[in-house]
A and B are shown apart, each in its own frame.
Chain A
């Protein structure tokens, strides 16, 4: 990881980390004496504002940690700075497991773009609990029936279609970039600042094709008005059994935007163990399973080792993607 951009924020954050590390040195012995984690209320720091998808997940997790594990949990929304505000909040607290960050897969993009002035190694990624794929979407009256139709057309006419989706240099553009590499074609990208606007863009024919989360245009996907040519899951999604994956159409692309929890690096193993055990109780509960289905979420349930590995490889690939598209130097 080489983020050399020295910013005021990074230096401040560095100082904060140093201070926090010093403090955690005092906190650690107290923890080892602790009979059982948690001894006091736990805070879930949600790095997005109240009311969004991440917040909904965080609040459900809080509710079920109380119900299933008997914890006392407080939700603290810390939106801003593409997640940097939330990560900083965790970094200024002791590494004792009492502050758990609720975050999304945009973490690796934020680090790669230098927006989040920390590194993956500053966090212990504990569990990915939800994930959503990307998909290639067109209107039902489109001439394209398969991913092949689309890539062939784009090969003949580079940049010949208006293709777009949510955010510049984010997950969905990254998936398009993967498709461009496998299908050997060129395409522009029209970024939108809200996922709902992507659906409107497709319906209003301001976009010819979009890369989007299937649940974004759910009403139209269900009614057949929007057709999904391919989805970026490993196997067909249980929610969309009729939509073929990119993989089965010969494009070896797989990716998902995850939502999960992390704590500050240096959090002792016994606290992490207690958190993992509590999360196991949550994911095993009927309430959680029902919630996942209602929210159209896959349950990756990656534990710390797999989650970390995944994030590291995401980061490396995304850095390459961002460099290739001029988002970072």
Chain B
């Protein structure tokens, strides 16, 4: 009890509120800048946390982490440039909505969904940390493989018009994911002797190139230099009652998916956003709107990527093991204060644990307020002519690619992906499946092989492992449902044709 009161005392003290607001403002900017994500943001922050107490430094870091997950959607919506990898799914519907003159709506959905996701993820952390952690332990390599396959099964939903094109793009992404050091044999594959490719094709370079540069090239081509196509004014962040009614289910499902995938180390927001979008689409009454500016296409992934924050903190607090690269940096900061994360912290430093638990929820609320402060600035961005925006996208893309590892190689690679993305746009190939497959390729391959190494080559591990069985069955369902619906629709239409024929006669 003392711990709870003490932690609330810290959170609502002047310094507590100051670090929360500072973290939120920094987080939104860092999230919105492509190439700079929450993990880079936190590592830049570490030197400044030396002199803060452990509670305050954790509050600052959580606030930045949470807000960066939202900030990524701003550039995704306004510039088609996902600021963070976890905002990639938001770019599809968010940018499309903004181009229809509804940027304000898109931003308000994103901010609201991010806040809802963050709060629900934080509540799950507060109330269910221990059971969720023991759930995470049930996942072995076979389980991780099956989760990856489940994620890949959403390719169909991302394919737009042509499933064949979608599958071709997914195959391209999977092929790219094989570049780098072999996860089991330890030898480089398809690196052409370039050590810049040892860690694989840098994911952010591909993301920025395919999404942002291709869009800038398309803008230049269409020569809409004078008239800005977005006339919308950004004024307020409150969603209308109708929008709430439309999106609350996606926010809820997105939050649950984000929390659950967030607790699995190595899965996290980059994957949760796609799974959440797919789930929302499958349950939407207008699935055809996805890809053309669907409100749920923003709400679901944004709720999911913020909910992963609470999820990623679960293994950190319950087991002492970081659930994401970002939380690994938080471990480093805790160690700097002479504290080691884990269940023993509840006894050693209860006020710190409660500051993290309540801080996660309160940081989401602070993010909502901080997010609304940026609206006038965003309004100004949107009144710029396309020519300026195209140049801005290119500048941010180059900066972002360089920021990944301080290597010019990544910039050239990103530009190469930009050209590929442009050609794909021209030929109407969807870029999202490439990104999804790149995110999941490594997870699927490394865990597939690890599972087989641990079972000594016995393939039945994928059905005897209960988690694996569940997720492989779910993937099958998610693959067959659209097919089943199509058959049903065909039957129904042939039946109406028959009745039509009858009436004519």
Contact = CB atoms under 8 A, between A and B. Distances in A.
A51 B319 contact: no
B195 A190 contact: no
A218 B320 CA distance: 8
Q: Which residue, of A59, A88, A162, A191, has the highest number of chain B Cβ atoms within 10 A? A: A191
B179 to A, nearest CB: 13
Nearest to A322: B186
A190 B44 contact: no
B265 A294 contact: no
A51 B320 contact: no
B187 A327 contact: yes
B137 interface: yes
A218 to B, nearest CB: 5
B340 A85 contact: no
Nearest to A196: B321
Given A51-B46, A115-B188, A196-B322, A8 B328 contact: no
A197 B406 contact: no
Contacts of A77: 406
A221 to B, nearest CB: 10
Given A85-B407, A199-B321, A200-B265, A59 B335 contact: no
Interface in B155-196: 181-188, 192-196
Given A191-B184, A204-B139, A50 B195 contact: no
Interface in B398-438: 405-407
Given A162-B454, A219-B342, A168 B183 contact: yes
A263 to B, nearest CB: 20
B320 A81 contact: no
A201 B195 contact: no
B44 A204 contact: no
A87 to B, nearest CB: 9
B141 interface: yes
Contacts of B266: 193-194, 197
B152 interface: no
Contacts of A201: 140
Interface string B263-285: 00110000000000000000000
A116 B181 CA distance: 13
Interface in B258-312: 265-266
Contacts of B329: 50-51
Interface string B436-451: 0000000000100010
Contact of A222 (B136, B141, B187, B344): B344
A207 B456 CA distance: 13
B335 A85 contact: no
Contacts of B228: none
A207 B185 CA distance: 19
Contacts, number: 155
Interface in B319-360: 319-322, 325, 328-329, 332, 335-336, 338, 340-344
Nearest to B39: A51
B149 to A, nearest CB: 18
Nearest to A191: B184
B271 to A, nearest CB: 15
A194 B265 contact: yes
Contacts of B456: 159, 188
A223 B343 CA distance: 9
Nearest to A291: B336
Nearest to A192: B450
Given A200-B137, A295-B335, A82 B195 contact: yes
Given A50-B40, A222-B344, A80 B407 contact: yes
A112 B332 CA distance: 30
30 contacts: A8-B194, A9-B194, A9-B195, A51-B39, A51-B328, A52-B328, A56-B336, A59-B46, A59-B47, A79-B199, A80-B195, A81-B195, A81-B196, A84-B198, A85-B195, A115-B181, A170-B186, A190-B454, A191-B453, A196-B322, A197-B265, A200-B136, A200-B315, A204-B136, A204-B140, A218-B340, A219-B320, A222-B340, A222-B344, A294-B338
Given A50-B329, A80-B198, A206-B454, 11 more contacts: A7-B193, A50-B43, A80-B405, A190-B450, A191-B184, A193-B266, A207-B454, A218-B342, A219-B344, A222-B344, A294-B335
Interface of A: 7-10, 49-53, 55-56, 59, 76-82, 84-85, 88, 113, 115-117, 159, 162, 164, 167-170, 188-194, 196-197, 199-201, 203-204, 206-207, 217-220, 222-223, 294-295, 326-327
Interface of B: 39-40, 42-44, 46-47, 136-141, 181-188, 192-196, 198-199, 265-266, 315, 319-322, 325, 328-329, 332, 335-336, 338, 340-344, 405-407, 446, 450, 453-454, 456
